[in-house]
Amino acid sequence: MDNNDTRIKNLGGGSLLIAWQLKGKNVLIVGGGEVASQRIESILASDAFIHVLSPQNGLHPRTRQFIELRKDRITYHERCYSGPGELDDMDMVLTALDDNELSRSIVELSRQRRIPVNAADIPDLCDFYFGAQIRDGPLQIMISTNGNGPRIASLIKTRLQKGLSGLEGEAIIKVGQLRNKLKERAPGVGGQLGRDRMKWISSLCNKWEMEDFTLLDEAMMDRLLDEGWEQGKRVPEIKDLGIRPTGNNTHRCRLYNACSNSLVQTVIAFVAGAAMTTLLFRHVSKR
């Protein structure tokens, strides 16, 4: 049995890592304390509509701040959970309560209606977990311990953040804009053309430094496509376009070389390659 066979036989014991699209969906959060405020912040990033159930005296200051500043996305109901009717039209349910029995009741009712549910601090009741998150625009990195050690996930997050330059999100935005321009020139879904587009973008991401993409503007993108894609799908050097990295970008780039932690180096390599070419936003889910 080779190493790959062993790896396949040992698969299991984790969660499915996905990017759960909640834009325009309704999410119920029962509770208004500190944990509820954390859930609100995570869900707000997904452009969902949030419904918070909590009496005024149960609101954490951050929860109150979210409610006051994001009335476009958050509907506050000043009451305790009143029964199954609260779940009507909901696409996801989150409980952030000290009352475990009430949480269990809400979980059971949610599952009867096939609504994904998470009960804070009760891992065995959760269809999915929240982990430590790093966000920079479209870049999202989730660190999950599969419910075993949230504090460890937070410590790993701190280590990873030290290895990032702060330009990753902007670079990903520029790559996304370039991909859209390429699709306009070479439209179509799938097939050989789709594979050629992906191969060209992937080769560009592998060849250029991440910071190089932050220097691109509309005109430079058009020139890159003219002198690259249109010329036999060539992958130009950034200097071929007359672009020179600024001193600030060069300095930031050195942050990668200064990183000595092997775990951080591995994740950065993944972000530079996979994240920029796929632009995937991942969530943790356990069903």
* Residues recognised as catalytic: 121
Spatial contact of 271 and 234, defined as CB atoms under 8 Å apart: no
Q: Look at residues 90, 77, 74 and name the one whose alpha carbon lies nearest to residue 31.
A: 77
Q: What is the rounded distance in angstroms from the CA atom of residue 102 to the CA atom of residue 121?
A: 13
Element (H, E) at 143: strand 139-143
Residue with tokens 């208004």: 32
CB count, 10 Å around CB of 16? 11
Amino acid letter at 156?
Answer: I
Of residues 257, 263, 158, 174, the one with CA closest to residue 211? 174
